[in-house]
Amino acid sequence: MGLSKRGDVWWVAFTTPNGERIRRSAGTSDQTAAQEFLDRLKVRYWEEQRLGVKPDRSWQDAAVRWVKETSHKRSHDKDVANLRWLHPFLGHLMLSQVTRDVVEKIGEKKSAQSSPSTANRTLALVRSILRRAKDDWEWVSHIPKVRLYREPKKRICFLSPDEARRLLTELPLHLREMAQLALTTGLRQRNVSYLRWDQVDMSRRVAWIHPDEAKAGRAIGVPLNEDALDVLRRRLGGHREYVFAYQGQPVARCSTRAWKQAVERAGIEAGFRWHDLRHTWASWHVQNGTPLQELMELGGWASYEMVLRYAHLAADHLRGAASRIDGTFLTHKQKPQLVRLS
């Protein structure tokens, strides 16, 4: 009971007036600070259980409740990983101690380690937990404002047909056929990796993604063109359950060293990601006249705004509007100027 040390970090342990056993990290290697943390916890539980004072909840309490209430999220594992990273900064604090200065230091640390966009995802998680603690759980009456970093807008990265052919030639067979299906259907990497035969009806030329497998949480019908069917026909007789498998297992990760080396050998700009195959598919559709509304349905996007980033690739429908002012400035003839002869 009291203080104990694990590695460089002090832990506290005690029994509350109601007999509840408490054991948690003090989040510090300083024994004096750990003792103060223990004393504050004992006073807090005494006031709650003996005097009926509304508890001052800790960040750790909020993080645990958040994990339980959001276990259905597709980003659940990422949230857990982010919370582990946040623990040294927030794990020893009460919610009332999570100030704007504390949050800004977290943002500075994360952006220095990675990028502004990665830091924003971590800060957004902190903001979401604080907002829920205030608005839903009513644990606190005030929370700090969490400012996100400005993220530069990136250009859509996509391949020309010739670049795509070069890349496919360089990829190992198991990745090549997965990439071909991605380029012909626009499916996200996880949906390709874990596509099962019971999701494919080749006679009807359709596949489907169930709601729990789709990023937007809605079922997606995937029409299969002839190129996609060619890929699926070549996969027949392979794995009993999954369309694509390598050494008997689904290919969970596609952005491997083999992928990066193939990108380099194909002469494609470094940094081309597997997800950019989906951008390539969408760009080809728009350039070949597919309306954005149809593209939204084909790609399973949740909103029209998501496909507007491809709109600049389909300016053909505006050519008529642009031609309406053809020759306009020529109709405003300048008056001839008199030239003096010396």
Annotated active-site residue in 215, 239, 260, 309: 215
Is 149 a residue of the active site? no
Burial of 193 (0-12, 13-18, 19+ CB in 10 A): buried
Contact 195, 244 (CB under 8 A): yes
Is 59 a residue of the active site? no
- State the helix-helix crossing angle for 173-185 and 226-235, rounded to 10 degrees: 150
Annotated active-site residue in 10, 139, 242, 301: 301
Burial of 152 (0-12, 13-18, 19+ CB in 10 A): exposed
Annotated active-site residue in 188, 235, 279, 285: 188
Annotated active-site residue in 92, 278, 279, 285: 278
Is 301 a residue of the active site? yes
- Whose tokens are 């949740």? That residue is 302
- Whose tokens are 């007036």? That residue is 17
Is 194 a residue of the active site? no
| 281: number of Cβ within 10 Å | 21
Taking 3-state DSSP, the helix, strand and coil percentages for the chain, each rounded to the nearest 5, stand at: 55, 10, 35
Which residues form the catalytic set? Answer: 188, 215, 275, 278, 301, 310
